[in-house]
Structure 1
Amino acid sequence: MLISPAMNAALREARFTGDAPLDESGLRQARAAAHVVPAADRCLRGPSRRCVATAEALGLRSEAEHALREWEMGRWSGARLTDVSADEPERVAAWLADPSAAPHGGEPLLELCARAGAWLDSLHGGGAGRVLGVAEPALIRAAVVHALALPPEAFWRLDVPPLTVTELSGRSGRWNLRCGRPLAPGPES
């Protein structure tokens, strides 16, 4: 299971996130959702401040997992997509069209999908049990692309809203997907 982190200013401003922390609204929403987090045998989180704060606000005792780190955007990190698109329209177009392109000097989409896939496949064997990871949306999208053997271009057609659970069950080579379940507080019983 993968949980996307709560909202932050970088997401609101459509920035290549860099390492932006949660904003107050995101922190409140994560704390409110703590009681509906699915049970897991092992909890992991990406190393970004947003993943760390979300995991803490959800009450998870999680360990850092380097493979769950954010998509490396090189010199575009922290910049607004609209600004980069205005300054470098050809490079943005190439990046969106070619999964092997990394005009920003960071990680190409193909490498992100391979990294997410290698981590996902590593969960089988060794008795990992039910694993829950708090990971950036790009990593979750890449994991879904890998798990379902989708073409890399499908990555751009997947949305992962803040504080949602994406469940992948099965095993390497045969994954099932349950996506988009919000971690919203339910009505009181």
Structure 2
Amino acid sequence: ISEDEVLGQALLFFVAGSETTATTIAFALYELAVQEDIQMRLRSEIRNVLEHHKGKVTYEAVQDMKYLHMVVSGYVKTITLIFHNRMSLHDYCVPGTNLVIERGTPVYVSLLGLHRDPAYHDNPLKFDPERFSKDKNCVGLRLALLSVKVMLVVLLQIFRVVLDEKTPVPLVLSPYVLFLKNIGQLPLQFVPDVHI
């Protein structure tokens, strides 16, 4: 592999995940503002773990935050931002329609749709950090999750996130975009609160 290819892959590795990581952080903060009990438990864990790490947000400190891991992993599952791409191996008629997906056609499956399908998950629309399952195969997932965790730790150790009077509850998502996006603004208030 050439140096240019290595540089190209490195650039892709960091740039490709920036939009999805930022969106995940915004939606996670929204969900924590909506569910204050989860936010308070998470902020308590952040305070306790950072006390054991002399107040420093290090990789080891973040790894010691088990509830943070459940919150982020559980949230990522409920708002999956990407599609799973496959190739149709044979002609397939979509049930209840005249639509035929021909052999060799690229197919993009909404992981969000699968994660929100009650046939596969109990109460799939509920944000439930306890429903954590292992991470899957995205090469950048560990870096993205670490970025989300560090940002949440940094913000939640000094702020309480609350809904603004203009914050839509429930969140209204756009059905017209490739990546998950809310319709309109997502106003949240960050209230200074160093005591959890």
- Scaled by the length of structure 2, the TM-score of the pair is 0.29
Task: Compare CA radii of gyration and give the structure with the larger one.
Answer: 2
- Scaled by the length of structure 1, the TM-score of the pair is 0.30
